Structure 1
Amino acid sequence: MLKDAGYIEEKRLAWGAREVIVFELTPLGKSRYEWFKTINDELFVLNEWTSE
């Protein structure tokens, strides 16, 4: 689902006789990650929850 949405890309690399699959964030994926992180930080400020 993340690959279809353009957030990650799949790369297949040779590792000796084997093949490994590596997933990397795309620029869009990095942008969305930062967006969700910002929202999470605003909603769940650690100090607010630990002071009660």
Structure 2
Amino acid sequence: MHKQRAIEISESPMMKNVSYQGTPVFIQHVNDDGTARIYSLDKSEQELTVSLESLIEY
């Protein structure tokens, strides 16, 4: 995913369909180093920092 699109999704009031390794996720924050802080919609207590390239909008 491109950095600008990830930022748009993270700032949007509307929920977007994004996945990480096949799991629906919420983008909490986009970092300057090409990563994003995410959490699974099923397990919101498990936050991860992942590469933007590993996120897919569907």
Alignment TM-score, normalising by the size of structure 2: 0.28
Query: More relative contact order in 1 or in 2 (CA 8 Å, sep 6+)?
Result: 2
TM-score normalised over the length of structure 1: 0.31
Which structure's CA Rg is the greater one?
Answer: 1
Structure with the larger strand share: 2
